[in-house]
């Protein structure tokens, strides 16, 4: 937002919150998933007629996470690991197979109509492709006005609406607003389109933003600007942000907390700096080893190509730890017993048998440079 814009733009009884205003008080955890599971049943085939159970894609299994006010939580994992499904479950776009979602400490019941609208007002989803999420036949003004009206925040009369539209665009640093309001999506750059999509989400005055790969379709040169904008919104509006990405390096830069997902389960979590610099789970180590890093290439010129293998089938996921078929450190029990979450120093944790009793005996994950070298051998 530019400094000459009003701190508060009145919308009837509502006020568009701006940076300097304190966010509503309450519990630090805004949105929470507890043991959330989603299985997508497969269409029946002749073979299934004789099967006892209907086969399904185990897209998300027993996922628990907490999104805190004024905090970015990254959810990192390779394609098909279930990241978008988690975002859609948190946005109430799919019913849960099991588990529970809590907003502001209260369990949310899957519903439509009024209860769904109230939920959406507080939890907004931003998609990867802003071109697909904005209607090409409508202007920026139309998209933002509609969002404000749906959420009862358009204000009284034309002047207030204009003020609120300008405030929304200011918040995503599209200024002066007159330059953008009457543009169509195709007249904007990719970064500007994503900013409009973010402004539309802010039109609801949400507490939570679920950003599903918000920069992966953008040119590398403008990604940082959009991430910085999201960080600015986190700080000024105290938003809880879920940042979904393939790119663990951006999680280190942008997120406070990082969760790593593999084949439908969260396998590691903790402070982003810890998880990216001292990854504990062999899968996180593999992710980091396969991310391009000029320093590491220079240091380890003799390294061989990373042997990464293939992600498993989610219809019949491997027993025990789902990563065991690819894990260079797999032990016998990993093939049969699902590892629970083991706590490590400094709030980090990993679902890996290597760390059984780690908190008690002070086991520390090794530093990233050593790990990367080991994992690429």
Ligand X SMILES: Nc1ncnc2c1ncn2[C@@H]1O[C@H](COP(=O)(O)OP(=O)(O)OP(=O)(O)O)[C@@H](O)[C@H]1O
H or E element at residue 62? strand 56-68
Judged by CB under 6 A, the stretch of 1-9, 83-91, 300-308, 345-353 that binds ligand X is 83-91
Minimum separation from the CB atom of position 73 to Mg ion (A): 16
Q: Does 316 bind ligand X (CB under 6 A)?
A: no
Minimum separation from the CB atom of position 258 to ligand X (A): 15
Judged by CB under 5 A, the stretch of 84-92, 139-147, 260-268, 339-347 that binds Mg ion is 84-92
Q: Does 71 bind Mg ion (CB under 5 A)?
A: no
Q: Does 272 bind ligand X (CB under 6 A)?
A: no
In the block, tokens 């980090």 appear at 348
In the block, tokens 């396969």 appear at 290
Compare residues 74 and 154 and give the one whose CB is closer to ligand X.
74
Compare residues 80 and 225 and give the one whose CB is closer to ligand X.
80
Q: Which of ligand X, Mg ion, none does residue 286 bind (CB under 5 to 8 Å by kind)?
A: none
Q: Are 222 and 191 in contact (CB under 8 A)?
A: yes
Q: Does 63 bind ligand X (CB under 6 A)?
A: no
Written as six digits, the tokens of 160 are 């207030």
Q: Which of Mg ion, ligand X, none does residue 171 bind (CB under 5 to 8 Å by kind)?
A: none
Q: Are 363 and 341 in contact (CB under 8 A)?
A: no
Among 57, 166, 174, 201, binds ligand X (CB under 6 A): 57
Minimum separation from the CB atom of position 141 to ligand X (A): 31
Q: Which of Mg ion, ligand X, none does residue 81 bind (CB under 5 to 8 Å by kind)?
A: ligand X
Q: What is the DSSP string of 114-156?
A: HHHHHHHHHEEEE-S-HHHHS-TTS-HHHHHHHHHHHTT-S-S
In the block, tokens 């959810």 appear at 75
In the block, tokens 């019913």 appear at 95
Among 83, 143, 265, 278, binds ligand X (CB under 6 A): 83
H or E element at residue 357? none
Cβ-defined contacts of 252-255 (< 8 Å, 24+) = 252/276, 252/277, 253/227, 254/72, 254/74, 254/227, 254/230, 255/72, 255/73, 255/74
Minimum separation from the CB atom of position 9 to Mg ion (A): 34
Q: Does 184 bind ligand X (CB under 6 A)?
A: no
Among 37, 71, 73, 84, binds Mg ion (CB under 5 A): 84
Judged by CB under 5 A, the stretch of 43-51, 81-89, 92-100, 149-157 that binds Mg ion is 81-89
Q: Number of C-alpha atoms within 13 angstroms, CB side, residue 335? A: 5
Minimum separation from the CB atom of position 259 to ligand X (A): 12
Q: Does 81 bind Mg ion (CB under 5 A)?
A: no
Judged by CB under 6 A, the stretch of 81-89, 152-160, 174-182, 321-329 that binds ligand X is 81-89
Q: Does 91 bind ligand X (CB under 6 A)?
A: no
d(CA 193, CA 186): 8
d(CA 90, CA 85): 9
Q: Are 248 and 286 in contact (CB under 8 A)?
A: no
Compare residues 78 and 100 and give the one whose CB is closer to Mg ion.
78
């Amino acid at each position: 937002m530019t400094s000459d814009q009003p701190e508060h733009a009145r919308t009837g009884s509502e006020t568009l919150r701006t940076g300097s205003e304190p966010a509503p008080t309450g519990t630090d955890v805004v949105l929470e998933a507890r043991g959330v599971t989603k299985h997508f049943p497969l269409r029946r085939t002749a073979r299934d007629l004789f099967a006892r159970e209907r086969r399904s894609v185990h897209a998300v299994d027993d996922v628990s996470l907490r999104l805190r006010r004024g905090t970015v939580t990254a959810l990192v994992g390779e394609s098909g690991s279930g990241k978008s499904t988690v975002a859609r479950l948190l946005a109430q776009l799919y019913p849960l197979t099991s588990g529970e979602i809590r907003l502001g400490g209260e369990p949310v019941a899957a519903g439509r109509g009024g209860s769904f609208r109230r939920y959406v007002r507080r939890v907004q989803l931003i998609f990867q492709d802003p071109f697909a999420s904005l209607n090409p036949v409508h202007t920026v003004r139309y998209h933002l006005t509609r969002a404000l009206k749906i959420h009862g925040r358009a204000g009284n009369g034309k002047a207030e609406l204009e003020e609120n539209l300008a405030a929304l665009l200011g918040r995503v640093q599209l200024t002066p607003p007159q330059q953008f309001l009457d543009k169509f999506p195709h007249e904007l750059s990719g970064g500007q389109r994503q900013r409009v999509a973010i402004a539309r989400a802010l039109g609801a005055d949400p507490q939570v933003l679920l950003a599903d790969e918000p920069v992966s379709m953008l040119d590398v040169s403008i990604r940082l600007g959009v991430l910085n904008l999201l960080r600015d919104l986190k700080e000024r509006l105290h938003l809880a942000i879920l940042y979904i990405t393939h790119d663990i390096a951006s999680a280190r830069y942008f997120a406070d907390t990082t969760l790593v997902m593999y084949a439908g389960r969260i396998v590691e979590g903790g402070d982003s700096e810890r998880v990216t610099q001292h990854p504990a789970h062999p899968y996180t180590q593999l992710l980091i080893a396969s991310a391009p890093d000029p320093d590491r290439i220079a240091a380890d010129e003799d390294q061989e190509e990373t042997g990464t293998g293939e992600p498993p089938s989610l219809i019949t996921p491997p027993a025990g730890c789902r990563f065991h078929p690819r894990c260079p450190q797999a032990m016998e029990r990993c093939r049969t017993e699902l590892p629970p979450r083991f706590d490590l120093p400094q709030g980090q944790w990993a679902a890996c048998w290597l760390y059984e009793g780690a908190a008690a005996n002070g086991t520390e994950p090794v530093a990233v440079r050593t790990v990367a070298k080991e994992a690429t051998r």
